Structure 1
């Protein structure tokens, strides 16, 4: 076993233990992880897109908003999160439109990083249902990610998006989606002793969102000519390299819940209630 592979295995094991422990504990532990992910994602985004080089003041504003969002996530001050993110992104859009040399990568990075932390914290919450919902999303994303690689290598065939990520194939995408659905259904059946068509449809949607997230990060890296988002994780690259699919799946679950709650008038509905009808 090569030294690089050993580093990858050790890093993956440590990360899995930390994330799963924080997920199990919930509360402050998970909020801290969600806040840290938001900060690290913005750091890597701003580094890849060279926001600091483009406009130091605008990038400092981005750090201010993402930092405030992370701080309020840790405190559990949920009522401030969406207004902070919305106000910050709108201001950044105005800066991009009105200032000479303004860039759309600033509001994009703020939205991507801020919503990463907000959606993860909202899904986990502080109760047992939030734990199940978070594990459900993990099952979909990890099942999709792992089996997509093996299906793609074993079957090959037409490329999924050759200009963005030449290694990804349709066989891997379909196989990964089926694996994500199977993992989610197995978890749901183990917890609730059954699963329904709704489980399959939600798992499919989250699997597709996860793969879109993976392609989105590949597009960003290819656009700026970088291989990894950073070198923060030995053998794995950066945080964005590891959570790209997860954060898009969380985005999808969180935003679908907000839309459903607004349409039905159940404005206090949680992501867990939306996923499982709790």
Structure 2
């Protein structure tokens, strides 16, 4: 019987190219375009979070998405408490795992805010984070399906293998090496890039755990071949947080 492990490749590739084009456009444009694009993406992620345990109440989902978008925008003007509006809406409205979803949403929206702050320090910084996440995901996808092998964390993410995980680290290191060679970073970037990729993989696993608790395969079906916006950008949350933590301790080894 023919294997269907590549059955979703065509759809994933087409959707991925569209997402990549939008990403390149927003990073290149920067400024308000990048802020609005980031806000829209994370608002959709908040909408999907609300739908995980309250699928029958669209007004509730729209409220959480609106509060998420408003919080991200308000935080750009120093109104930090606004970032907590959507998480509180998730935590305080009747739903299963409301507090857990609220905590996840708070972390997610903080990541969105910091991602926008990083863009203000230079497009190369944002491009590096996105490349690390995308390349590690692509390398992991192909290595996992070609090599297979032991599962990384089967209870949380049944499809993720050690071969794919390590391949993702290698891909991330190559991204860092490429930037060092072209004069955009110091050698420490080759070390930091796999760490950021690993944080992104943990972000993916965290979202997988939420979905398993909710009993769903995908956060939504908004992106053909990928599931929902949260399914596609969950790794970005972990990656941005890792960059934030590194920046608290050491200077980022990359040009602005």
How does 1:86-101 map onto structure 2 within 5 Å? 95=92
Runs (5+) with no aligned partner, structure 1: 262-272
How does 1:45-56 map onto structure 2 within 5 Å? 45-50=49-54
Choose the corresponding residue for 1:12, options 9, 16, 24: 16
Shift of 1:87: 7.3
Q: TM-score, normalised by structure 1?
A: 0.77
Structure that is richer in helix per residue: 1
Shift of 1:64: 5.5
Contact kept? 1:152, 1:171, Cα under 8 Å: yes
Q: Find out whether 1:42 has 2:34 as its counterpart.
A: no
Contact kept? 1:160, 1:173, Cα under 8 Å: yes
| CA deviation string 1:85-127 (max 9, x = no partner) | 25775x569848xx998831342243144124212211111xx
| Inter-CA distance 65–152: structure 2 relative to 1 (3 Å threshold) | same
| Inter-CA distance 14–101: structure 2 relative to 1 (3 Å threshold) | closer
Q: Which residue does the alignment assign to 2:81?
A: 83
Task: Kindly report the root-mean-square deviation, in angstroms, between the aligned alpha carbons of the 2 structures.
Answer: 3.2
Choose the corresponding residue for 1:212, options 202, 207, 227: 202
Contact kept? 2:156, 2:205, Cα under 8 Å: yes
Q: Secondary structure at the match of 1:228?
A: coil
Q: Which residue does the alignment assign to 1:118?
A: 113
| Inter-CA distance 9–87: structure 2 relative to 1 (3 Å threshold) | closer
Q: Give the whole-Å Cα distance in 2 for the aligned partners of 1:100 and 1:223.
A: 12
Q: Give the whole-Å Cα distance in 1 for the aligned partners of 2:152 and 2:206.
A: 13
Q: Which residue does the alignment assign to 2:186?
A: 195
Q: Secondary structure at the match of 2:252?
A: helix
